[in-house]
Amino acid sequence: MKVINLHQQEKELIGQALGNNRHAQQKLYAKFAPKMLGVCRQYIKDVHQAEDIMITAFMKVFTNLRNFEHKGSFEGWIRRIMVNECLSFMRVQKKVKFIEDEDYFEESFNNIESQLSIDDLQSLIDDLPDGYKMVFNLYVIEGYKHQEIADLLGINEGTSRSQLSHARKILQDNINKLKNYSNGTE
């Protein structure tokens, strides 16, 4: 019942926001902004810059609200807009280019204990090159398939696989270094 009520409330807010009701828009913003800022932070290292992109993406959410067809979750719809905005920022502002490299290898992480905090993981991902980071985030965190990633980024599916394998290798190496460092200090 609570879920239904929440869903109904969300639908009402969306309806009011369509009529440029600023109060309804503020409520929707307050509900989804923290999570969406986390999404942006995955792609952009600077929090302030990530916030700017989040605001721009919310502008697109409210201006294109009539395009939401209530078929999936509203959060998922907003999240896709955030990811697209981050990708366009990285391609345009940072001018990320992908080297067409279809030599990939199946790489998986060693079965190690997950003692790393989210901040540690974030710092490891931040250290990845932009191209590797984008593919890694889209595949691992957002759950896109390689063909979908290739369409989003305008690359080949093979290049997407290659980028992911390189990202995993670098992350593995960095995790091992951290582990060795922590074992060494202990």
Per-residue binding letters, 99-118, with other proteins (x by CB under 8 A): -------x-xx-xxxx-x-x
Contacts with other proteins by CB under 8 A: the residue count is: 38
Q: Which is nearer to other proteins, 27 or 91 (CB)?
A: 27
> Taking every pair of C-alpha atoms in the chain, what is the biggest distance, in angstroms?
61
**CB 1 to other proteins: min, Å:** 24
Least Å distance between CB 120 and other proteins?
11
- Which residues make Cβ contacts (< 8 Å) with residue 9, sequence separation at least 6? none
Question: Does residue number 140 form part of the binding site for other proteins (CB under 8 A)?
Answer: yes
171 binds other proteins (CB under 8 A): yes
* CA torsion through residues 88, 92, 94, 97, sign: positive
Tokens matching residue 9: 């409330």
Residue 98 burial by Cβ neighbours in a 10 Å radius (0-12, 13-18, 19+)? buried
Nearer to other proteins, 8 or 173 (CB): 173
Which residues ranging from 24 to 63 are in contact with other proteins (CB under 8 A)? 25-26, 29-30, 33-35, 37-38, 41-42, 47, 51, 54-55, 58-59, 62-63
CA 38: distance to chain centroid? 8
* Structure token digits, residue 122: 């974030």
